[in-house]
């Protein structure tokens, strides 16, 4: 009975655990573990061997096809077949690579897509820095302002001619915001005050309240003037929306759906939880109807019924119709996720907020929603992943997303019948995107874990 | 009685509005009272929604007039005039759009039922394999799930169709199993039984037999629960049931003839036929669904306390026994709700078979029929109505089942 010791001093009766014993000798080490877990019985050994043999042949065949026997440089499929009949013909995918990424975007203008995507990423980059205050506003500004910049770059056109006045002005404001953001970041890194504080002394002479905000607006407007002077000399070749395509279009649809899903979902979820019967029922009917039909029927509905149900003089391109449909669909699914989060918030939180004198809006925005959204991050990320995968459906109604571009390779006269390689290529691409998103969500979940 | 020092709240009642207030102040007073604000808000929302609906339908009637289209379900009895490549219920091109609708529904239901049954079986096995002690097995199950569920279903369907099923040999060189079964790039031809009797008799007999067996077990159950053995009456009944079953098989086989697929020209005739598009859609959706269900099953199994497994192991249960008797019955409770969603998703996903031309509801009704008749509004509402009905039905049935399985908490 000396497995554990109890000190027998009456004042200090203390339990001291002995360290755990090591596992039995035959279970230690790498070989021990393998032997113990893979070959501990006859059945298990047979299973292990079978799985190992199957795996070996699977990996060998895949590698042979995709790497060792593959053709990377060729003029046409015929040449591919002549070089190596039983290997992949990656040459076709490589020659169509631009098409897969940019769709039918004009060759000379494709740099604009790169710049646009780069600007979008640059905009989000300051989120990584802990030095910048009010980072939520950067995210909000990205959602509210970046689409104008992106739209300007992707559509092109001159100010006031192809580009509408509102769109042009908002583009200038958005670019000015980006410039200011980076100036502030650099200045704060160097230890100076931000640009938005330059006019503080001037403003404080006229006003007493909200001088920071006013100074910020003054600086923003000034920079906007500078930017608009610069932009008015630039003219970009107009590109029709019908020519957008490839991975670029997939990202636009998925990005739009992901950014719109949360606001639409929050509104619908709050509506469904509302005590007012009319609002409750309307939200519930919308959520349940949208959730119980397949996305493809919603897309068909958007493409065929929107032109009928909207005034005849309103012109819609297919992309807008699809975006409306995807937004509604994503919002309904997100609403159910968010409702789950709202239900998990203890009643005490609502009561505490009421006690503090917060109204409905403040209770929700400041107290309940931040907790609910944080709690639901894994589910929300799962929704995002399935949204990204679902964007491939737009190829069925004829948008040239990456899926349709990949299928089109087989119709090219040089690459007739090249089905497998493009499909494998975009499968790998989607796998990488979705898998990294799911790993990121696991990481986020661990980092934001709220229960103790 | 303890006297409360808190004064009573003032009696609720309609306060008369101070006449000295201005119009604006009266309105804002209306918005500051909880009850009146609720009424006002709901009235505004309801008015907005009704106005939106009115706006949409006014536009629709304008647009329909302008385009010379009409609204109504009078197109349904009209002859459809197009062929459908595969249908379980009798169909030819002289039948009406109603028939097309039902052909689409039956094909959709058959495809999703097959996917649900096989996908659930495979998914359960993979989910249990993921928890295996053998690292090779569990890792292989894990990567199966990861790869399958991170690639869009549409890509998988098209992959199976263009890469696997379309590259099968032509009918003349088809893979075959004796003279009974032929597999080629058009699909699968199987020897089938053809009966001169109608299918109604067949279903009636099978139904009667199943009901009789159920009744027999039900009748003998009280004795069985008391004594642990079956009564002799049960065995007599079982023998009688067996005789009836043999007789009905004999009776049915009298009217049956074998129909063997034979090559005629470029194609097979006779036998039962499953098109390649069905095969591709079925395999792709089953694989995809099995991965989703494997995750559900794994999560459900991991939600059980490890002590349960250890206790089962301690009293000498084997791995299979502890799974069957201890773990799965408990895991079912947490598995059923997500499994319901998975089955619903399988039903909705069956609409993706439209991409490879499998004649399911969206393909035959929402594409072909809509292009021919131009009745977009009616057709879309019918298709959506069908999916909504199915979703509500499945979730209602499974909620009932779920209620019966959950712990009774009072």
Residues A231 and A264 in one domain: no
Of chain A, the percentage scoring pLDDT greater than 90 comes to 30
Q: Which range has the worst mean pLDDT, A272-276, A333-337, B182-186?
A: B182-186
- Interchain pair B45, A310: CB under 8 A: no
Residues A261 and A398 in one domain: yes
Q: Residue A33 falls within a domain, yes or no?
A: no
| pLDDT of res. A1 | 44
Residues A130 and A254 in one domain: no
Residues B141 and B273 in one domain: yes
- Interchain pair A293, B147: CB under 8 A: no
Q: Residue B92 falls within a domain, yes or no?
A: no
- Interchain pair B155, A392: CB under 8 A: yes
| Mean pLDDT value of segment B369-375 | 86
User: Which of A238, A268, A284 delimits the end of a domain?
Assistant: A238
Q: Residue B177 falls within a domain, yes or no?
A: yes
User: Which of A178, A209, A238 delimits the end of a domain?
Assistant: A238
Nearest-angstrom CA–CA distance, A442 and A381? 9
Q: Residue B110 falls within a domain, yes or no?
A: no
| pLDDT of res. B133 | 81
Q: Residue A42 falls within a domain, yes or no?
A: no
Query: For residue A54, what is the nearest residue in chain B, using CA coordinates?
Result: B140
A53 touches chain B (CB under 8 A): no
Q: Are A103 and A121 in contact (CB under 8 A)?
A: no
| Mean pLDDT value of segment A404-433 | 90
The yes-or-no verdict on residue A376 having pLDDT over 90 is no
The yes-or-no verdict on residue B322 having pLDDT over 80 is yes
> Dihedral of CA B150/B155/B157/B159: which sign?
negative
| pLDDT of res. A452 | 45
Contacts of B35 in chain A (CB under 8 A): none
Q: Which range has the worst mean pLDDT, A95-99, A191-195, B11-15, B158-162?
A: B11-15
Contacts of A278 in chain B (CB under 8 A): 42, 45-46
| pLDDT of res. B309 | 84
Residues A263 and A360 in one domain: yes
Mutate to test the interface with B, among A27, A305, A309, A384 (most CBs of B within 10 A): A309
Residues B44 and B152 in one domain: no
Grouping H, G, I as helix, E, B as strand and the rest as coil, residue A401 is strand
pLDDT band for B13, please (50, 70, 90 cuts): low
Residues A317 and A446 in one domain: yes
Q: Tens of pLDDT along A116-136?
A: 999 988 888 888 777 676 777
Query: For residue A435, what is the nearest residue in chain B, using CA coordinates?
Result: B150
DSSP 8-state class, residue A89: B
User: What part of A 159-198 touches B (C-beta under 8 Å)?
Assistant: none
Q: Residue B176 falls within a domain, yes or no?
A: yes
| pLDDT of res. B4 | 54
| Mean pLDDT value of segment B27-53 | 86
Residues A438 and A371 in one domain: yes
When mean pLDDT is compared over A317-331, B64-78, B86-100, the highest value belongs to: A317-331
pLDDT band for B389, please (50, 70, 90 cuts): very high
Residues A209 and A275 in one domain: no
- Interchain pair A48, B349: CB under 8 A: no
The yes-or-no verdict on residue A144 having pLDDT over 50 is yes
Residues A382 and A233 in one domain: no
Q: Are B288 and B156 in contact (CB under 8 A)?
A: yes
User: What part of A 371-410 touches B (C-beta under 8 Å)?
Assistant: 385, 389-390, 392-393, 395-396, 403, 407, 410
Nearest-Cα distance to chain B for A228, in Å, is 38
Residues B172 and B288 in one domain: yes
Residues B349 and B267 in one domain: yes
Mutate to test the interface with B, among A46, A56, A281, A294 (most CBs of B within 10 A): A294
Mean pLDDT of chain A: 86
The yes-or-no verdict on residue A240 having pLDDT over 90 is no
Mean pLDDT of chain B: 85
Nearest-Cα distance to chain B for A44, in Å, is 8
Q: Which range has the worst mean pLDDT, A312-321, A385-394, B285-294, B344-353?
A: A312-321
Residues B53 and B132 in one domain: no
Residues A306 and A437 in one domain: yes
Q: Which of B45, B162, B163 sits opposite A282 (nearest CB)?
A: B45
Residues B47 and B126 in one domain: no
The yes-or-no verdict on residue B12 having pLDDT over 60 is no
Contacts of B38 in chain A (CB under 8 A): 275-276
CATH of the domain at B311: 1.10.3720.10
Q: Which range has the worst mean pLDDT, A175-184, A190-199, A373-382, A387-396?
A: A190-199
Residues B175 and B314 in one domain: yes
Contacts of A52 in chain B (CB under 8 A): 136
User: Which of A220, A238, A256 delimits the end of a domain?
Assistant: A238
The ipTM value here is 0.86
Q: Residue B146 falls within a domain, yes or no?
A: yes
Q: Which of B46, B152, B377 sits opposite A392 (nearest CB)?
A: B152
| pLDDT of res. B289 | 96
Q: State which H helix or E strand residue A323 sits in.
A: helix A318-344
Residues B268 and B343 in one domain: yes
Q: What is the 3-state secondary structure (H, E, C) of chain B?
A: CCCCCCCCCCCCCCCCCCCCCCHHHHHHHHHHCHHHHHHHHHHHHHHHHHHHHHHHHHHHHHHHHHHCCCCCCCCCCCECCCCCCCCCCCCCCCCEHHHHHHHHHHHHHHHHHHHHHHHHHHHHHHHHHCCCCCHHHHHHHHHHHHHHHCCCHHHHHHHHHHHHHCCCCCHHHCEEECCCEEEECCEEEECEEEECCCHHHHHHHHHHHHHHHHHHHHHHHHHHHHHCCCCHHHHHHHHHHHHHHHHHHHHHHHCEEEECCEEECCEEECCEEEEHHHHHHHHHHHHHHHHHHHHHHHHHHHCCCHHHHHHHHHCCCCHHHHHHHHHHHHHHHHHHHHHHHHHHHHHHHHHHHHHHCCCCHHHHHHHHHHHHHCCHHHHHHHHHHHHHHHHHHHHHHHHHHHHHHCCCCC
pLDDT band for B41, please (50, 70, 90 cuts): confident
When mean pLDDT is compared over A298-302, B190-194, B273-277, the highest value belongs to: A298-302
Nearest-angstrom CA–CA distance, B37 and A45? 72
Q: How many domains would you assign to chain A?
A: 2
Q: How many domains would you assign to chain B?
A: 2
- Residue range of the domain that includes A346: 247-411+419-452
CATH of the domain at A268: 1.10.3720.10
pLDDT band for A448, please (50, 70, 90 cuts): confident
| Mean pLDDT value of segment A223-244 | 85
pLDDT band for B111, please (50, 70, 90 cuts): very high
Residues A208 and A290 in one domain: no
The yes-or-no verdict on residue B17 having pLDDT over 80 is no
Q: Residue B395 falls within a domain, yes or no?
A: no
Residues A252 and A230 in one domain: no
Q: Are A342 and A368 in contact (CB under 8 A)?
A: yes
The alpha carbon of B299 is separated from its chain's Cα centroid by a whole number of angstroms, namely: 22
- Phi, psi of B182, rounded to the nearest 5 degrees: -130, 130
Residues 6+ apart with CB under 8 A from A295: A325, A326, A329, A390, A393, B348
Q: Residue A83 falls within a domain, yes or no?
A: no
The yes-or-no verdict on residue B363 having pLDDT over 50 is yes
- Residue range of the domain that includes B283: 122-191+260-359
| pLDDT of res. B142 | 93
Residues 6+ apart with CB under 8 A from A105: A113, A239, A243, A244, A245, A246, A248
Q: Residue B83 falls within a domain, yes or no?
A: no
Q: Residue B301 falls within a domain, yes or no?
A: yes
Q: Which range has the worst mean pLDDT, A15-19, B17-21, B48-52, B354-358?
A: B17-21
The yes-or-no verdict on residue A325 having pLDDT over 90 is yes
Cβ atoms within 10 Å, residue B39? 14
A294 touches chain B (CB under 8 A): yes
pTM score: 0.85
Q: Residue A259 falls within a domain, yes or no?
A: yes
Contacts of A389 in chain B (CB under 8 A): 150-153
Residues A157 and A299 in one domain: no
Which of A108, A92, A109, A89 lies closest to A100 in space, CA to CA? A92
- Interchain pair A309, B134: CB under 8 A: no
Which of A303, A312, A301 lies closest to B63 in space, CA to CA? A312
């Amino acid at each position: 009975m000396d497995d554990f010791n109890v000190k027998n001093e009456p004042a200090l009766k203390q339990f001291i655990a002995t360290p755990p014993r090591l596992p039995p000798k035959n279970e230690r080490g790498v070989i021990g573990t393998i032997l113990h877990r893979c070959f501990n019985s006859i059945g298990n050994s047979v299973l292990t061997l079978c799985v190992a043999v199957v795996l070996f042949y699977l990996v060998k065949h895949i590698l042979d096809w995709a790497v060792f026997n593959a053709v990377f440089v060729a003029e046409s499929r015929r040449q591919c077949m002549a070089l190596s009949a039983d290997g992949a013909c990656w040459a076709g995918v490589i020659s169509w690579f631009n098409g897969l990424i940019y769709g039918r975007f004009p060759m000379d203008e494709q740099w604009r897509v790169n710049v646009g995507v780069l600007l979008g990423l640059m905009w989000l980059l300051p989120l990584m820095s802990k030095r910048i205050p009010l980072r939520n506003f950067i995210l909000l500004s990205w959602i509210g302002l970046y689409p104008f910049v992106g739209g300007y770059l992707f559509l092109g056109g001159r100010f006031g001619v192809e580009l509408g006045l509102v769109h042009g002005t908002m583009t200038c404001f958005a670019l000015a915001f980006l410039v200011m953001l980076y100036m502030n970041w650099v200045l704060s890194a160097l230890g100076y005050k931000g640009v938005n504080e330059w006019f503080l002394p001037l403003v404080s002479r006229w006003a007493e309240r909200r001088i920071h905000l006013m100074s910020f607006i003054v600086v923003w407007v000034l920079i906007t003037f500078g930017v608009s002077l610069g932009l008015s000399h630039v003219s970009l070749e107009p590109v029709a929306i019908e020519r957008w395509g490839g991975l670029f279009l997939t990202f636009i649809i998925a990005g739009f759906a992901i950014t719109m899903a949360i606001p639409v979902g929050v509104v619908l979820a709050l509506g469904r939880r509302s005590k007012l019967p009319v609002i409750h029922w309307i939200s519930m009917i919308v959520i349940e109807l949208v959730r119980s039909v397949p996305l493809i029927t919603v897309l068909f509905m958007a493409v065929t019924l929107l032109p009928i149900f909207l005034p005849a003089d309103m012109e819609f391109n297919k992309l807008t119709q699809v975006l409306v449909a995807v937004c509604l669909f994503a919002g309904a699914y997100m609403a159910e996720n968010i409702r789950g989060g709202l239900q998990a918030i203890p009643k005490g939180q609502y009561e505490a907020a009421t006690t503090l004198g917060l109204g409905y809006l403040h209770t929700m925005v400041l107290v309940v929603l931040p907790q609910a959204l944080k709690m639901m991050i894994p589910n929300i990320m799962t929704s995002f992943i399935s949204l990204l995968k679902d964007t491939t459906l737009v190829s069925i109604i004829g948008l040239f997303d990456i899926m349709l571009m990949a299928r089109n390779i087989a119709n090219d006269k040089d690459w007739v019948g090249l089905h497998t390689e493009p499909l494998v290529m975009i499968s790998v691409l989607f796998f990488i995107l979705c898998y990294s998103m799911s790993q990121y969500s696991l990481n986020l979940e661990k980092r934001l874990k709220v229960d103790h | 009685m303890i006297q409360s020092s808190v004064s009573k709240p003032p009696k609720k009642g309609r306060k008369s509005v101070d006449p000295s207030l201005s119009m604006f102040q009266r309105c804002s007073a209306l918005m500051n009272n909880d009850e009146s604000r609720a009424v006002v808000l709901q009235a505004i929302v309801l008015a907005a929604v009704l106005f939106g609906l009115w706006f949409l339908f006014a536009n629709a009637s304008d647009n329909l007039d302008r385009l010379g289209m009409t609204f109504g379900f009078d197109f349904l009895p009209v002859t459809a005039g197009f062929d459908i490549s595969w249908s379980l219920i009798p169909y030819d091109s002289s039948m009406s759009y109603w028939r097309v609708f039902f052909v689409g529904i039956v094909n959709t239901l058959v495809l999703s039922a097959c996917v649900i049954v096989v996908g659930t079986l495979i998914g359960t096995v993979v989910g249990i394999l993921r928890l295996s002690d053998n690292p090779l097995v569990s890792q292989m199950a894990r990567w199966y799930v990861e790869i399958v569920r991170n690639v869009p279903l549409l890509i998988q369907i098209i992959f199976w169709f263009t890469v696997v099923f379309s590259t099968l040999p032509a009918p003349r060189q088809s893979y075959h199993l004796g003279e009974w079964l032929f597999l080629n790039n058009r699909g699968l031809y199987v020897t089938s039984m053809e009966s001169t009797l109608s299918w109604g008799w067949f279903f009636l007999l099978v139904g009667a037999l199943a009901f009789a067996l159920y009744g027999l077990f039900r009748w003998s159950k009280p004795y069985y629960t008391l004594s642990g053995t079956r009564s002799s009456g049960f065995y007599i009944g079982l023998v009688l049931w067996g005789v009836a079953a043999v007789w009905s098989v004999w009776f049915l086989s009298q009217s049956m003839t074998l129909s063997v697929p034979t090559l005629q020209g470029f194609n097979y005739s006779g036998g039962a036929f499953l098109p390649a598009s069905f095969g591709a859609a079925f395999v792709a959706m089953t694989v995809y669904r099995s991965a989703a269900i494997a995750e559900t099953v794994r999560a459900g199994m991991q939600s059980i306390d490890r002590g349960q497994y250890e206790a089962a192991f301690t009293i000498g249960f084997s791995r299979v026994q502890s799974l069957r008797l201890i773990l799965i019955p408990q895991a079912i409770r947490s598995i059923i709700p997500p499994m319901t969603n998975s089955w619903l998703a399988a039903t909705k996903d069956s609409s993706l078979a439209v991409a490879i031309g499998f004649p399911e509801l969206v393909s035959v009704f929402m594409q072909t029929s809509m292009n021919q008749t131009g009745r977009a509004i009616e057709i879309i509402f019918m298709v959506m109505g069908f999916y909504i009905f199915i979703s509500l039905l499945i979730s209602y049935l499974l909620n009932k089942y779920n209620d019966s399985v959950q712990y009774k908490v009072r």
